[in-house]
Amino acid sequence: MRRRQLLRTSLLGAALTATGLVVRPARAHAMGGSLPALDAPAPDFNLPGVAPGPGSGQGAAQATQLALADFAGLWLVLYFYPRDFTGGCTLEARGFQKDLKAFQRAGAAVVGVSADDPDSHASFCSEEGLAFPLLSDPGGTVSQRYGSWIAPFSQRHTFLIDPKGVIRSRWVAVRPSGHSREVLEELRRLQA
């Protein structure tokens, strides 16, 4: 019995290795990118997307192009998510929208990133009443820099970047329910 179990385990391991299903550090880097280190400069980005228009209410989005440098002097909640209009992504976006004023009072901006195009983001903002930018990363270039890409989707990761552009906290494989509150509590802790 023990020999059969060892043989089965050995064969399974060989099969997984041969098919590339065993994740090695080099493959993890190639698939999703490397997670940036805490207390290190945030990877740069410059992406198209949509943002609330000047003086507009929730959901009134206009085309924009935003870079990390645009948030100098502010805390930045940069969250990556798979798709507009899906259950978990909608729940997460609603949470950030609900807490948006608290983030703004704390001197923080909230920005979402996914592979969806700006038109999809505009519809999502309109339907959900979102008043924060959503950026488009269709090839996953920026998502890879943040270790948040497994084609064709960004993975659900969040980064809290300080006013000097340094990553102070990160969340990997985020659970959407209550996540915004979790990030807000960490922001307040870091600012205390």
Give the pLDDT confidence of 4-61 residue by residue, as tens digits: 443 343 433 443 333 333 333 333 333 467 899 999 999 999 999 999 876 555 556 8
> For 33-191, CATH number?
3.40.30.10
Q: Which of 66, 78, 89, 125 is catalytic?
A: 89
The single residue listed with the structure tokens 């989005």 is 61
In this prediction the pTM is: 0.81
What phi, psi does 28 have (nearest 5°)? Answer: -60, -40
Give the pLDDT confidence of 113-171 residue by residue, as tens digits: 999 999 999 999 999 999 999 999 999 999 999 999 999 999 999 999 999 999 999 99
Per the annotation, the verdict on 125 as an active-site residue is no
Q: CB count, 10 Å around CB of 165?
A: 17
* DSSP-H helix ranges across 20-153: 25-32, 87-98, 100-105, 118-128, 141-145
Q: Where are the domains of the chain?
A: 1-30, 33-191
Q: CB count, 10 Å around CB of 111?
A: 23
Q: Which of 153, 135, 187, 155 minimizes the C-alpha distance to 35?
A: 155
Q: What pLDDT is attached to residue 56?
A: 52
